[in-house]
Homo-oligomer: A and B are copies of this chain.
C-alpha cells in the first residue's frame, strides 16, 4: 500500500515556498502544507520601497509571485495564510496551528518538517503603526505604510537605519516630496556594502536631494501623543510625523529552538550545506539559517532574497531525495539612490581587515560610456586585493547609469578566486554607448595591482 508522506513547511515567504514547490515537483506523492502567519506568501519584500515611492503603480498586495490559490493549482502546494504554528512536537511528528483571523485551531501530523520562519525586525525604537512608527519587513507592513502615507500625508519622515531599506525608503520619501531625515548609528551609510570613502558619494547625493543625514547617532526613542512628533538619538532630536525603522533583523528562531535546532554564534540556525539541521526529518532554510561566506569561511544569516530562494530550493530538492549543496555566498549586493547606482561584492576594506586579511586597495573614477556620448557616465570603483596573492577580495562601485550591472562581472571573478591580473586581462565588452575601451573594473584592477606591487 502506498502511504503518502506529509511535508510541513513553516513560513511561506521566498524560502518556504521555494522549498515547498521544489519538493512537490520532485516528489509529486508528497503532501505539502505551508503555514504563513502573514497575509501573503511568496512576495517581493524588496519591491516595497519602489511601490511606496509610486514608481511601481500596482497595489502593494499584488506584488506577490504566487497566491495560495495559484500555489494549490500550479504547484500542488497547500498554503495557509494568517495561520500561526503554535507548537511542534517533533517526537510525535505533529504540530498545532491557530487561525489568526478566525481564531480556530488544529493540528497536523507530518513526516518531514521544514522551518522557514525567516527573520524579524530588531527595531532600535519601539514600533507603533497606529502612531506612525513602522518597520518595513513583511508585505503587510508595506500595505500599512502605503495606507498611512495616503491617509496622513506626513511632512517630516524620520528614517532610522542606513542600510538597504533605509536608503531605498529615503529615495521613496524624496520622490513623494516629503522632508526626510535619516538617522544612522554607523559612521556612514550602507556599511555592509561600502567603505567610508565610497559611502561619501552616496551621502553627497542624499544631501543634494535635500535629505538630512545624521550619521553616528543611535536612535533611542520617540515621542508624541496621538501621533509621533519627534525621534530622539541621545541629545539629538529629529522632528518627524512618521518614522520608518529599518535597523536590521535577526533570525526568528523560536520554533527552531523549541524543536531543538542548534543556534550559531550569529544567531541563526546551524545547517549543513544541504540545509539539514542535524535533527532527523527537520530542515531549515532562508533568513533563519546561517549560510557560509566563501571568502571569510564564516557562517552568518544573510537576509537577501537570492540566498533565501536558493536555500529554499536546495532544502526542497533534498527533502525529496536529492543531494544538492548550497555553494556559499560572496555578498553581492546592489541598490540605488535616484540615479546613483550602488553595488558591491566580496568584502569591503573594513570587513577584510576585520577578518584578518592583509588588504591593499585601488580606487578610480572611471567612465561607464565613451566620453563623447551624450550624458556620459562615470563610476567610482574600489577594489580590494589580498596583498600576498593579488586575489580580489572585494569590489565596490558607485556611479551613474551603467554602474550597477558591472558588479556581476566582479562577482564572477571573485567567485572563482581571480587575481587583479585576471580582471585586467579578461576581454570585457566595449562599444561607446556601453563603456570605455578599458573597462572600469579592468582599470581599477590595474591600479590596485600597482598598489599591491608597491606595497609588497
Give me the interface of A with B, judged by CB distance under 8 Å: 14, 44, 46-47, 50-51, 55-58, 62-63, 304-307, 309, 327, 329-336, 341, 343, 345, 370, 372-374, 402, 404-413, 415-416, 418, 422-423, 425-435, 437-439, 441
Contact = CB atoms under 8 A, between A and B. Distances in A.
A27 to B, nearest CB: 18
A264 to B, nearest CB: 20
A433 B401 CA distance: 12
B331 A432 contact: no
Contact of A432 (B50, B57, B435, B438): B50
Contacts of A428: 306, 332, 408, 411
In the A-B complex, the 5 residue pairs with the smallest Cβ-Cβ separation, listed nearest first, are A412-B412, A408-B409, A334-B429, A327-B425, A405-B405
A409 B412 CA distance: 6
Given A409-B412, A426-B412, A50 B305 contact: no
A429 B46 contact: no
Contacts of A434: 334, 336, 341, 404-405
A271 B418 CA distance: 27
A332 B345 CA distance: 23
B429 A411 contact: yes
B427 A307 contact: yes
A431 B423 CA distance: 24
Contacts of A309: 437-438
Given A47-B373, A408-B439, 5 more contacts: A309-B437, A309-B438, A332-B428, A334-B435, A404-B429
Nearest to A48: B432
A373 B55 contact: yes
A194 to B, nearest CB: 14
A67 to B, nearest CB: 14
Contact of A333 (B56, B57, B336, B429): B429
Nearest to A63: B372
Given A336-B431, A408-B428, A370 B422 contact: no
Contacts of A432: 44, 46-47, 50, 56
Contacts of A404: 429, 431, 434
B418 A412 contact: yes
A412 B63 CA distance: 34
A56 to B, nearest CB: 5
Contacts of A56: 372-374, 432
A336 B309 CA distance: 33
Given A373-B50, A405-B405, A306 B430 contact: yes
Given A343-B429, A425-B415, A437-B309, A55 B374 contact: yes
Contact of A415 (B406, B426, B441): B426
B408 A415 contact: no
B343 A305 contact: no
A47 to B, nearest CB: 5
A47 B433 CA distance: 9
B431 A335 contact: yes
Contacts of A50: 373, 432-433
A427 B306 contact: yes
A172 to B, nearest CB: 12
A343 to B, nearest CB: 6
A372 B410 CA distance: 27
A313 to B, nearest CB: 9
Nearest to A302: B427
B412 A427 contact: no
A21 to B, nearest CB: 14
A427 B373 contact: no
A308 to B, nearest CB: 9
